[in-house]
Protein backbone atom coordinates (compact mmCIF):
# COMPACT_ATOMS: atom_id res chain seq x y z
CA UNK A 1 0.00 0.00 0.00
CA UNK A 2 2.89 2.39 0.61
CA UNK A 3 3.89 2.12 -3.06
CA UNK A 4 0.30 2.76 -4.11
CA UNK A 5 0.06 5.82 -1.87
CA UNK A 6 3.32 7.21 -3.22
CA UNK A 7 2.03 6.88 -6.79
CA UNK A 8 -1.19 8.66 -5.89
CA UNK A 9 0.66 11.44 -4.06
CA UNK A 10 2.78 11.92 -7.21
CA UNK A 11 -0.48 12.23 -9.18
CA UNK A 12 0.31 9.06 -11.13
CA UNK A 13 -2.46 6.80 -12.41
CA UNK A 14 -2.75 3.21 -11.23
CA UNK A 15 -2.85 0.30 -13.62
CA UNK A 16 -5.94 -1.87 -13.82
CA UNK A 17 -4.06 -4.62 -11.99
CA UNK A 18 -2.95 -2.28 -9.21
CA UNK A 19 -6.53 -1.08 -8.73
CA UNK A 20 -7.70 -4.71 -8.59
CA UNK A 21 -5.05 -5.58 -6.00
CA UNK A 22 -6.04 -2.72 -3.69
CA UNK A 23 -9.73 -3.53 -4.11
CA UNK A 24 -9.05 -7.17 -3.30
CA UNK A 25 -7.47 -6.17 0.02
CA UNK A 26 -10.14 -3.57 0.74
CA UNK A 27 -13.07 -5.92 0.23
CA UNK A 28 -11.50 -8.75 2.19
CA UNK A 29 -11.15 -6.55 5.27
CA UNK A 30 -7.35 -6.42 5.06
CA UNK A 31 -7.04 -2.61 5.06
CA UNK A 32 -7.44 -0.25 7.99
CA UNK A 33 -10.04 2.50 7.76
CA UNK A 34 -7.26 5.07 7.54
CA UNK A 35 -5.80 3.27 4.52
CA UNK A 36 -9.17 3.07 2.79
CA UNK A 37 -9.78 6.77 3.41
CA UNK A 38 -6.32 7.68 2.10
CA UNK A 39 -6.81 5.53 -1.02
CA UNK A 40 -10.24 6.94 -1.87
CA UNK A 41 -9.15 10.52 -1.18
CA UNK A 42 -5.93 10.11 -3.15
CA UNK A 43 -7.81 8.85 -6.20
CA UNK A 44 -10.29 11.70 -6.00
CA UNK A 45 -7.60 14.36 -5.72
CA UNK A 46 -5.63 12.84 -8.60
CA UNK A 47 -8.64 12.19 -10.83
CA UNK A 48 -9.98 8.71 -11.55
CA UNK A 49 -9.34 6.85 -14.83
CA UNK A 50 -11.23 4.18 -16.78
CA UNK A 51 -8.54 1.62 -15.89
CA UNK A 52 -8.89 2.32 -12.17
CA UNK A 53 -12.68 2.25 -12.30
CA UNK A 54 -12.72 -0.98 -14.31
CA UNK A 55 -10.23 -2.67 -11.99
CA UNK A 56 -12.20 -1.90 -8.83
CA UNK A 57 -15.58 -2.61 -10.46
CA UNK A 58 -14.41 -6.01 -11.71
CA UNK A 59 -13.27 -6.93 -8.22
CA UNK A 60 -16.56 -5.87 -6.63
CA UNK A 61 -18.59 -7.73 -9.23
CA UNK A 62 -16.50 -10.87 -8.83
CA UNK A 63 -17.40 -10.89 -5.13
CA UNK A 64 -21.10 -10.07 -5.71
CA UNK A 65 -24.08 -12.36 -5.26
CA UNK A 66 -25.13 -12.68 -8.89
CA UNK A 67 -28.76 -12.83 -10.04
CA UNK A 68 -29.83 -15.16 -12.84
CA UNK A 69 -31.84 -13.55 -15.63
CA UNK A 70 -33.45 -15.35 -18.55
CA UNK A 71 -34.41 -12.12 -20.32
CA UNK A 72 -32.53 -10.57 -23.22
CA UNK A 73 -31.09 -7.06 -23.39
CA UNK A 74 -31.23 -6.25 -19.67
CA UNK A 75 -30.39 -2.71 -18.57
CA UNK A 76 -29.96 -0.56 -15.48
CA UNK A 77 -30.51 3.20 -15.17
CA UNK A 78 -28.75 3.75 -11.84
CA UNK A 79 -26.82 6.97 -11.28
CA UNK A 80 -23.82 7.77 -9.13
CA UNK A 81 -25.63 10.17 -6.83
CA UNK A 82 -23.37 12.72 -5.22
CA UNK A 83 -24.55 15.71 -7.28
CA UNK A 84 -25.84 17.54 -4.15
CA UNK A 85 -28.84 18.76 -6.15
CA UNK A 86 -31.52 17.68 -3.69
CA UNK A 87 -33.64 16.42 -6.59
CA UNK A 88 -36.32 13.74 -6.27
CA UNK A 89 -35.65 10.11 -7.24
CA UNK A 90 -35.60 10.49 -11.01
CA UNK A 91 -34.04 7.21 -12.13
CA UNK A 92 -36.18 5.17 -9.74
CA UNK A 93 -39.33 6.66 -11.25
CA UNK A 94 -38.01 6.27 -14.80
CA UNK A 95 -37.36 2.56 -14.17
CA UNK A 96 -41.12 1.89 -14.08
CA UNK A 97 -41.56 3.75 -17.37
CA UNK A 98 -38.77 1.80 -19.02
CA UNK A 99 -40.15 -1.53 -17.81
CA UNK A 100 -43.62 -0.55 -19.03
CA UNK A 101 -42.10 0.04 -22.47
CA UNK A 102 -40.84 -3.52 -22.67
CA UNK A 103 -37.28 -3.05 -21.39
CA UNK A 104 -36.04 -5.47 -18.72
CA UNK A 105 -34.67 -3.34 -15.87
CA UNK A 106 -32.42 -4.64 -13.09
CA UNK A 107 -32.56 -1.54 -10.87
CA UNK A 108 -29.49 -1.50 -8.66
CA UNK A 109 -29.42 0.91 -5.73
CA UNK A 110 -28.90 1.75 -2.10
CA UNK A 111 -30.23 3.79 0.75
CA UNK A 112 -29.38 7.44 0.88
CA UNK A 113 -25.78 8.25 1.72
CA UNK A 114 -25.52 11.94 0.75
CA UNK A 115 -29.18 12.86 0.13
CA UNK A 116 -32.49 12.59 1.98
CA UNK A 117 -33.82 9.65 0.01
CA UNK A 118 -32.16 6.80 -1.88
CA UNK A 119 -33.79 4.31 -4.26
CA UNK A 120 -34.06 1.66 -1.52
CA UNK A 121 -35.96 4.12 0.68
CA UNK A 122 -38.44 4.76 -2.14
CA UNK A 123 -39.02 1.08 -2.93
CA UNK A 124 -39.70 0.42 0.74
CA UNK A 125 -42.23 3.25 0.85
CA UNK A 126 -43.91 1.75 -2.20
CA UNK A 127 -44.30 -1.56 -0.38
CA UNK A 128 -41.60 -3.42 -2.30
CA UNK A 129 -39.55 -5.88 -0.23
CA UNK A 130 -35.84 -5.16 -0.65
CA UNK A 131 -34.59 -8.19 1.30
CA UNK A 132 -35.62 -11.14 -0.90
CA UNK A 133 -33.05 -13.93 -1.41
CA UNK A 134 -31.32 -14.19 -4.81
CA UNK A 135 -33.49 -16.99 -6.23
CA UNK A 136 -36.67 -15.01 -5.53
CA UNK A 137 -35.18 -11.82 -6.95
CA UNK A 138 -34.46 -13.81 -10.09
CA UNK A 139 -38.09 -14.98 -10.21
CA UNK A 140 -39.34 -11.39 -9.89
CA UNK A 141 -36.99 -10.14 -12.60
CA UNK A 142 -37.97 -12.87 -15.05
CA UNK A 143 -41.70 -12.55 -14.40
CA UNK A 144 -42.11 -8.77 -14.05
CA UNK A 145 -39.22 -7.55 -16.19
CA UNK A 146 -38.23 -5.26 -13.32
CA UNK A 147 -36.55 -5.87 -9.99
CA UNK A 148 -34.87 -3.78 -7.31
CA UNK A 149 -31.48 -5.09 -6.20
CA UNK A 150 -30.42 -3.68 -2.83
CA UNK A 151 -26.70 -3.09 -3.20
CA UNK A 152 -25.61 -4.01 0.39
CA UNK A 153 -27.31 -7.41 0.00
CA UNK A 154 -25.76 -7.99 -3.42
CA UNK A 155 -22.31 -6.79 -2.36
CA UNK A 156 -21.76 -7.94 1.24
CA UNK A 157 -18.02 -7.27 0.97
CA UNK A 158 -18.70 -3.56 0.53
CA UNK A 159 -19.34 -3.41 4.27
CA UNK A 160 -15.61 -2.94 4.80
CA UNK A 161 -15.77 0.49 3.12
CA UNK A 162 -19.12 1.74 4.42
CA UNK A 163 -17.88 3.33 7.64
CA UNK A 164 -15.26 5.35 5.76
CA UNK A 165 -17.73 6.39 3.06
CA UNK A 166 -20.17 7.72 5.62
CA UNK A 167 -17.46 9.55 7.55
CA UNK A 168 -15.93 11.14 4.44
CA UNK A 169 -19.34 12.52 3.41
CA UNK A 170 -18.09 13.18 -0.10
CA UNK A 171 -18.49 11.20 -3.33
CA UNK A 172 -15.55 8.97 -4.18
CA UNK A 173 -14.66 6.42 -6.85
CA UNK A 174 -17.04 4.01 -5.10
CA UNK A 175 -19.90 6.32 -6.11
CA UNK A 176 -18.58 6.43 -9.66
CA UNK A 177 -18.39 2.66 -9.97
CA UNK A 178 -21.50 1.72 -7.98
CA UNK A 179 -23.63 1.70 -11.16
CA UNK A 180 -20.96 -0.42 -12.89
CA UNK A 181 -21.33 -3.34 -10.49
CA UNK A 182 -24.86 -4.59 -11.14
CA UNK A 183 -25.18 -8.28 -10.11
CA UNK A 184 -27.00 -9.04 -13.37
CA UNK A 185 -25.07 -9.31 -16.63
CA UNK A 186 -26.24 -6.15 -18.40
CA UNK A 187 -26.35 -5.62 -22.14
CA UNK A 188 -27.14 -1.91 -22.04
CA UNK A 189 -27.16 0.90 -19.53
CA UNK A 190 -28.15 4.49 -18.87
CA UNK A 191 -25.81 5.82 -16.22
CA UNK A 192 -25.93 9.27 -14.68
CA UNK A 193 -22.78 10.78 -13.22
CA UNK A 194 -22.04 13.97 -11.29
CA UNK A 195 -18.62 14.11 -13.01
CA UNK A 196 -18.93 15.64 -16.48
CA UNK A 197 -15.17 15.38 -16.92
CA UNK A 198 -15.46 11.59 -16.71
CA UNK A 199 -18.26 11.03 -19.25
CA UNK A 200 -16.00 9.52 -21.89
CA UNK A 201 -13.87 7.59 -19.38
CA UNK A 202 -16.98 6.10 -17.78
CA UNK A 203 -18.44 5.10 -21.16
CA UNK A 204 -15.11 3.48 -21.98
CA UNK A 205 -15.26 1.58 -18.69
CA UNK A 206 -18.77 0.34 -19.46
CA UNK A 207 -17.50 -1.00 -22.77
CA UNK A 208 -14.63 -2.77 -21.06
CA UNK A 209 -17.13 -4.34 -18.66
CA UNK A 210 -19.14 -5.82 -21.52
CA UNK A 211 -21.92 -3.33 -22.23
CA UNK A 212 -22.92 -3.45 -25.88
CA UNK A 213 -24.64 -0.09 -25.77
CA UNK A 214 -24.72 2.62 -23.09
CA UNK A 215 -25.22 6.30 -22.38
CA UNK A 216 -23.42 8.16 -19.60
CA UNK A 217 -25.19 11.43 -18.87
CA UNK A 218 -24.55 14.63 -16.92
CA UNK A 219 -27.15 17.36 -16.77
CA UNK A 220 -26.94 21.10 -16.34
CA UNK A 221 -25.65 22.09 -12.93
CA UNK A 222 -23.78 18.79 -12.52
CA UNK A 223 -26.97 16.73 -12.16
CA UNK A 224 -26.40 12.98 -12.50
CA UNK A 225 -29.49 12.85 -14.74
CA UNK A 226 -30.68 14.63 -17.87
CA UNK A 227 -31.84 18.07 -16.80
CA UNK A 228 -34.44 20.66 -17.81
CA UNK A 229 -32.21 23.41 -16.40
CA UNK A 230 -29.99 23.68 -19.47
CA UNK A 231 -27.59 21.67 -21.58
CA UNK A 232 -27.30 17.95 -20.91
CA UNK A 233 -24.08 16.28 -22.01
CA UNK A 234 -23.80 12.57 -22.69
CA UNK A 235 -21.39 9.98 -24.05
CA UNK A 236 -22.91 7.27 -26.25
CA UNK A 237 -21.24 3.85 -26.45
CA UNK A 238 -22.39 2.15 -29.64
CA UNK A 239 -20.67 -0.40 -31.90
CA UNK A 240 -17.54 -0.19 -29.69
CA UNK A 241 -17.26 3.55 -30.42
CA UNK A 242 -17.84 6.49 -28.08
CA UNK A 243 -19.36 9.72 -29.36
CA UNK A 244 -20.14 12.88 -27.39
CA UNK A 245 -23.49 14.67 -27.60
CA UNK A 246 -25.50 17.53 -26.09
CA UNK A 247 -29.23 18.09 -25.89
CA UNK A 248 -31.42 21.00 -24.75
CA UNK A 249 -34.89 20.70 -23.16
CA UNK A 250 -36.41 22.88 -25.89
CA UNK A 251 -35.40 20.30 -28.52
CA UNK A 252 -38.16 18.05 -27.18
CA UNK A 253 -40.81 20.63 -26.31
CA UNK A 254 -39.92 20.96 -22.63
CA UNK A 255 -39.67 24.29 -20.83
CA UNK A 256 -36.29 25.27 -19.42
CA UNK A 257 -36.63 25.30 -15.62
CA UNK A 258 -34.20 25.68 -12.69
CA UNK A 259 -33.12 22.59 -10.76
CA UNK A 260 -35.12 23.93 -7.80
CA UNK A 261 -38.25 23.03 -9.80
CA UNK A 262 -37.54 19.34 -9.20
CA UNK A 263 -36.47 19.65 -5.58
CA UNK A 264 -37.15 16.49 -3.59
CA UNK A 265 -37.73 15.77 0.07
CA UNK A 266 -37.69 12.73 2.31
CA UNK A 267 -38.67 9.25 1.18
CA UNK A 268 -42.39 9.75 1.85
CA UNK A 269 -42.48 13.04 -0.06
CA UNK A 270 -40.52 11.62 -3.00
CA UNK A 271 -42.80 8.59 -3.12
CA UNK A 272 -45.80 10.91 -3.43
CA UNK A 273 -44.00 12.66 -6.28
CA UNK A 274 -43.32 9.34 -7.99
CA UNK A 275 -46.96 8.31 -7.76
CA UNK A 276 -48.13 11.68 -9.13
CA UNK A 277 -45.85 11.12 -12.14
CA UNK A 278 -47.13 7.60 -12.77
CA UNK A 279 -50.66 9.04 -12.58
CA UNK A 280 -49.60 11.39 -15.41
CA UNK A 281 -50.03 14.62 -13.45
CA UNK A 282 -48.38 17.43 -15.42
CA UNK A 283 -45.35 18.94 -13.67
CA UNK A 284 -41.62 19.57 -14.07
CA UNK A 285 -41.16 16.23 -12.27
CA UNK A 286 -43.09 14.39 -14.99
CA UNK A 287 -41.20 16.16 -17.79
CA UNK A 288 -37.86 15.33 -16.18
CA UNK A 289 -38.78 11.64 -15.95
CA UNK A 290 -39.99 11.60 -19.57
CA UNK A 291 -36.69 13.08 -20.72
CA UNK A 292 -34.64 10.57 -18.75
CA UNK A 293 -36.83 7.60 -19.69
CA UNK A 294 -36.51 8.68 -23.31
CA UNK A 295 -32.74 8.59 -22.99
CA UNK A 296 -33.09 5.19 -21.34
CA UNK A 297 -35.07 3.74 -24.24
CA UNK A 298 -32.46 5.16 -26.62
CA UNK A 299 -29.52 3.78 -24.62
CA UNK A 300 -31.19 0.36 -24.62
CA UNK A 301 -31.65 0.44 -28.39
CA UNK A 302 -35.42 0.16 -28.06
CA UNK A 303 -35.77 3.28 -30.21
CA UNK A 304 -33.54 4.98 -32.77
CA UNK A 305 -33.58 8.49 -31.28
CA UNK A 306 -34.09 10.35 -28.02
CA UNK A 307 -37.25 11.92 -29.45
CA UNK A 308 -38.73 8.50 -30.18
CA UNK A 309 -37.80 7.45 -26.66
CA UNK A 310 -39.62 10.41 -25.14
CA UNK A 311 -42.71 9.66 -27.24
CA UNK A 312 -42.68 6.06 -26.01
CA UNK A 313 -42.22 7.25 -22.41
CA UNK A 314 -45.24 9.57 -22.74
CA UNK A 315 -47.35 6.68 -24.01
CA UNK A 316 -46.25 4.41 -21.16
CA UNK A 317 -47.29 6.98 -18.55
CA UNK A 318 -50.46 8.25 -20.22
CA UNK A 319 -51.79 4.73 -20.84
CA UNK A 320 -51.30 3.74 -17.21
CA UNK A 321 -48.77 1.05 -18.19
CA UNK A 322 -46.05 2.47 -15.93
CA UNK A 323 -48.42 2.51 -12.94
CA UNK A 324 -49.52 -1.04 -13.82
CA UNK A 325 -45.87 -2.11 -13.78
CA UNK A 326 -45.48 -0.78 -10.24
CA UNK A 327 -48.59 -2.64 -9.12
CA UNK A 328 -47.42 -5.84 -10.82
CA UNK A 329 -44.04 -5.59 -9.08
CA UNK A 330 -45.67 -5.19 -5.66
CA UNK A 331 -48.03 -8.12 -6.30
CA UNK A 332 -45.35 -10.52 -7.53
CA UNK A 333 -42.95 -9.54 -4.75
CA UNK A 334 -45.61 -10.42 -2.18
CA UNK A 335 -46.36 -13.73 -3.91
CA UNK A 336 -42.75 -14.89 -4.02
CA UNK A 337 -42.08 -13.63 -0.47
Where is the binding site for Mg(2+), in residues? 91, 224-225
DSSP string, 109-131: E-S-SSSS--HHHHHHHTT--S-
Cα 247 → chain centroid: 20
Q: How many CA atoms lie within 13 A of 189 on its CB side?
A: 33
Question: What is the three-class DSSP state of 182?
Answer: coil
Cα 210 → chain centroid: 16
CA distances from 296 to 21, 72, 236, 329 (A): 34, 16, 11, 20
Helix, strand, coil % over all residues of the chain, rounded to 5:
55, 15, 35
Q: How many CA atoms lie within 13 A of 288 on its CB side?
A: 33
Q: Of the candidates 297, 38, 77, which has an alpha carbon nearest to the alpha carbon of residue 193?
A: 77
The beta strand positions in 137-231, using DSSP E, are: 146-150, 188-192, 213-218
Binding positions for 5-phospho-alpha-D-ribose 1-diphosphate are 79, 82-83, 87, 89-92, 107-115, 119
Binding positions are 79, 82-83, 87, 89-92, 107-115, 119, 165, 224-225
Amino acid sequence: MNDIFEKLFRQEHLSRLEAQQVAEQMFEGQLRDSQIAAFLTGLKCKGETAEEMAGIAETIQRKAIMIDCQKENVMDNCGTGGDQSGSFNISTTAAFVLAAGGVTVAKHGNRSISSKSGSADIFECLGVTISLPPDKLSTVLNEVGLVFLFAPHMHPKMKYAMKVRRELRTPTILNLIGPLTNPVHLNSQLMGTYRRDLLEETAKTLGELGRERAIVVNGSGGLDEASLAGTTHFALLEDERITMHTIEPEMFGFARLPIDAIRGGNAEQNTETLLSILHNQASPYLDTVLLNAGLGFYSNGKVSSVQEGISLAKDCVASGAALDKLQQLIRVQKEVA
